[in-house]
Each structure stands twice: as C-alpha cells, then as structure tokens.
Amino acid sequence: MTVKIGEKAPNFGVSEWVQGAPTNFDQEKDHIVLLEVFQVNCPGCFMGAIPDAIKIYEKYKNEGVRVLGLATAFEDFDKNNLDNLKMLVETGEVVGETKSALAQYGQLQEGNRLSFKIPFPLGMDNLTKSADEITQEKILEFIYPQIPDFDSKPENYRKDIIQRVKDHMRSKEYSAETFENFSLQGTPSAILVDRKGILRDVSFGQTGHIDGMIQKLLSED
C-alpha cells in the first residue's frame, strides 16, 4: 500500500484500544485527526512528542480536533508490546530506555510513574509475527552476497557478523501495520488528517509545525 499526502487516508491498524472508545479515520468525519504514533520504549516520545500532543488536545478539543495515540513497534519487541502499554495506562509506569531517561532528568514520580496522564484514546498497532524462522542457512544467504569471501575471514569476525545479522533479523520479527503502511521513519511520528478524511501530513520527530497546520485546517471550508 502506498499512502500519499493529498489523498484519502486509509484507516490505521489497531489490535486493541486500551483507553477511550474504538475509532478510526473513517469514523471521525468532520473532525481533524492527529494520530500520534509512539513506542513505549522511546524516551523522545515521552519527553517531547506526547506532552506536545497533550497540549494540542487541550487547546483544540472543543474545536473539532481529535487527538489519538497509537503505540507501535519496529524494534525492542520485548518492551514495545501491549502488556507494557496497558501498564502505562493503568499505573503510569514506564519501562526500558524511557524509564532510564525520564529518571535521569527527574521527570518520574515514585514507582517509575509518569508525572502526567495521557488524556486521549490510546491503542496498539496491529502487529503480525513473521512466520520465517531464523536459521543459519538464511543468515548465510543474507551475508554471502555482501561479503563473498566471508568463509575466509577470521573466526571472530565471522561470529560478530553472524550475530549482527541475527539481531537484524530478530528486529524484523514483527510487522507493524500502521508503521509500514504510512512509511514511518521512526518514533515519534505524527499523522494529520483533515475533516474530509484527506491525509495532510506525515512527520517524524518533533517538528513543531503541527499546531500551525491545525490552525490552517480549521480555517478551511
């Protein structure tokens, strides 16, 4: 699927809503929708993007703007999962690098809990487990085209390369529907859809332009 700015936005994938009523782009007619895509194990998401999305929510919630949060996963699948998203919603507790970074900057309450509550609906991206088993044969099939003389390399070098390729393949253990359909570059990412359901912006990181775009969309007929 190729998603293009200026065309009708396809629905995002969601396996379960953990906070708020289930919804999607096609159910938000006449609303501007900001979908904030994050990972549970993403310090930048919780130090910047999510607080910014909360500000957008508070500022425009009575003006026909809907803010939604979607947790995805393209790495660290042991942390970026539904259980940790549910724990975040139920207790405010964070994990992994998010916990380490927020603790370092004194931004956690007792019990590794967030100092703020996310007020908008939160769901989990639709993850599909890869059916491919990571075998030595597949690892070598990946390596040989790039390093034809691999077998003649020192043993420590070969072990290191094999482990790196194995880690890379494990990082592709799951396919995240929304992350892939919208060709996201990482997290945090923001997807903005106008009142007619047209995709208007897909951005990675904290760009600071979302508020201005929402104001522009609100002024359109």
Residue-wise pLDDT tens digits, 154-206 = 999 999 999 988 887 776 678 899 998 998 989 999 999 999 999 999 999 87
The answer to whether residue 207 scores a pLDDT higher than 70 is: no
pTM above 0.85, yes or no: no
Which residues does residue 36 pair with via DSSP β-bridges, in sequence order?
A: 69, 190
CA distance 165 to 183: 23
Q: Given pLDDT bands bounded at 50, 70 and 90, which one contains residue 133?
A: confident
CA distance 176 to 186: 12
CA distance 22 to 35: 13
Question: Regarding beta strands 199-204 and 189-193, do their DSSP bridges make them parallel or antiparallel, or are they unpaired?
Answer: antiparallel
What b/e readout covers 127-157, taking b as 16+ CB neighbours within 10 angstroms?
A: beeeeeebeeeebeebbeeeeeeeeeeeeee
CA distance 105 to 47: 10
Is the pLDDT higher at 208 or at 46? 46
**Checking phi first, is residue 17 left (phi over 0); if not, alpha (psi -120 to 50) or beta?**
beta
Report pLDDT for 75: 87
Peptide bond into 145 cis (omega under 30): no
Encoded tokens for 68 = 């939604």
With contact defined as beta carbons under 8 Å apart, do 94 and 146 qualify?
A: no
Q: What amino acid occupies position 194?
A: D
Hey, where are the domains in the chain? 16-127+176-219, 131-171
With contact defined as beta carbons under 8 Å apart, do 167 and 75 qualify?
A: no
At the fourth CATH level, which superfamily is domain 16-127+176-219?
Glutaredoxin (3.40.30.10)
With contact defined as beta carbons under 8 Å apart, do 127 and 175 qualify?
A: yes
**182 Cα distance to chain centroid:** 11
